[in-house]
Amino acid sequence: MSKAKYSIILTIIAIGLLFGFSTAHAQNAEPAKRVYDIAAFVWPSYHPDDRARIFWPMGIGEWETVMKNEAHFEGHQQPRKPVWGYVNEADRYVMEMQIAAAADHGVNVFIYDWYWYDGISYLEACLNEGYLKARNNNRVKFYLMWANHDVNLMWDRRNSDDASTRRNTATIWRGSVSRTEFDKIAHRWIERYFSHPSYYKIDGKPVLMIYDLNKLIEGLGGVEETRAALEWLRAEVKKAGHPGLELQLSLRRHSDRSLSGIAGDNLGTQRELVEKLGFDSLTHYQFCHFANVNRDYNEVMKDVRKEWTAVKTDYAATYYPHVSVGWDSSPRTPNRLGAVIKNNTPANFEQALREAKAFVDAQPERTPLITVNSWNEWTETSYLQPCDLYGYGYLEAVKRVFVEGE
């Protein structure tokens, strides 16, 4: 046998052995660990904003309300204070620290509350100057929730007691917008945010959440007009080079009650409108939107699980489960106490996360997205950031469930 033939035979044998080893190794290797998208809502009010001084005259955003918070009764777990202090969340260095803490604990998406009133954006600096300028924003993706609700005096601690009891029904800004204004807003989303490398996408499509369905329809002039506007938006997103738009809705309680809109028109049920307007996916913003939250956290979770199942069963759009850390908006009202979730300890929150994880795991073909209220809702007492009561407890709960897999 020639040396050339002998060399070829040895090469073939070596390749065969290598292939066999690789195959055996692949068969014995552990399956890749599933990565979950844990998306926390961000209330972008903790920074200087001249337009916000009508609510918080100190010029530090709603930290002013947090600083003045007091307990309403003996045993009331208030005030809660941030371990990180009253930081400026429109500072990129502050946001780099927060992004690192979030990512290290398994929070890998921020959902920014995004506002537009009287023809201009509001509280946008937290996103534009903080997150987008942070050098590590590739570690935590982001997407927008258009918080298109009216603004009354609830953000103003000096008048919030009257606003909460509706003794004062003054509206500062309206969340509904005309079609002309909608088109302007849409181009802002597309041009400023959707193409950012850290913008969160599902199947390559940028995700946009709408907060208030009624206000959307009211401003655009009706259901058919709203459908036309959303179809136009999808086309504009494609024109910008994206494969499409993942249009998401923040749901209220699932029921067969019809919604009313402009001139008291009967718009149809929430489910009918989701189908008519072509929403791709659904989630919730807060437990208080669909459950009685004036109870023990574990009791609230019984209704939450029922809601998850009902929406998954009754809606054609994909439902992504939502978990709230808690609810207690008493920091905003000096003399009035509303509903309060009790016993929302990190341990109970962790159990809720495990149930959300099981809900997602039962649908392995879908994106493993879970929304959480919230990253920093201190005045609604529903936050992941470390506090003087539980330290890093809530973040550590996320880490145990979704990073360590305990």
Q: Domain ranges for the chain, please list them.
A: 37-402
Q: Can you give the pLDDT at residue 27? A: 52
| More reliable by pLDDT, 30 or 269 | 269
pLDDT confidence of 256, banded at 50, 70, 90? confident
**What is d(CA 104, CA 241) in angstroms, rounded to the nearest whole number?**
32
Taking residue 61's Cβ as centre, other Cβ atoms within 10 Å add up to: 27
pLDDT score of 94 more than 50? yes
Evaluate whether 369 touches 357 at the Cβ level (below 8 Å).
no
- Tell me, what amino acid is at 68? K
pLDDT confidence of 171, banded at 50, 70, 90? very high
pLDDT score of 406 more than 60? yes
**Section 103-121 average pLDDT:** 98
Q: Can you give the pLDDT at residue 178? A: 98
**What is d(CA 324, CA 304) in angstroms, rounded to the nearest whole number?**
10
**What is d(CA 394, CA 397) in angstroms, rounded to the nearest whole number?**
5
Query: 155 CB contacts (<8 Å, ≥6 apart)?
Result: 55, 56, 62, 65, 332
| More reliable by pLDDT, 372 or 14 | 372
pLDDT confidence of 6, banded at 50, 70, 90? very low
Q: Can you give the pLDDT at residue 33? A: 82
Query: 127 CB contacts (<8 Å, ≥6 apart)?
Result: 42, 44, 112, 114, 142
Q: Can you give the pLDDT at residue 254? A: 85
Q: With 0-12 CB in 10 A as exposed, 13-18 as middle and 19+ as buried, what is 266?
A: exposed
Name which of 31-45, 263-277, 283-297, 298-312 the model is least confident about: 263-277
pLDDT score of 68 more than 80? yes
Q: Can you give the pLDDT at residue 355? A: 98
Q: Kindly state the percentage of the chain with pLDDT values over 70.
A: 91
Tokens of 215: 């206000």
| More reliable by pLDDT, 84 or 405 | 84
**What is d(CA 376, CA 95) in angstroms, rounded to the nearest whole number?**
12
Name which of 84-93, 201-210, 259-268, 343-352 the model is least confident about: 259-268
**Section 10-25 average pLDDT:** 44
**Section 195-211 average pLDDT:** 98
**Section 357-372 average pLDDT:** 97
Query: 375 CB contacts (<8 Å, ≥6 apart)?
Result: 40, 41, 42, 43, 98, 102, 107, 110, 383, 384, 385
pLDDT score of 83 more than 90? yes
Q: Can you give the pLDDT at residue 260? A: 61
pLDDT score of 20 more than 70? no
Tokens of 115: 């506002």
Domain made up of 37-402: CATH architecture? Alpha-Beta Barrel (3.20)
pLDDT score of 1 more than 60? no
pLDDT confidence of 8, banded at 50, 70, 90? very low
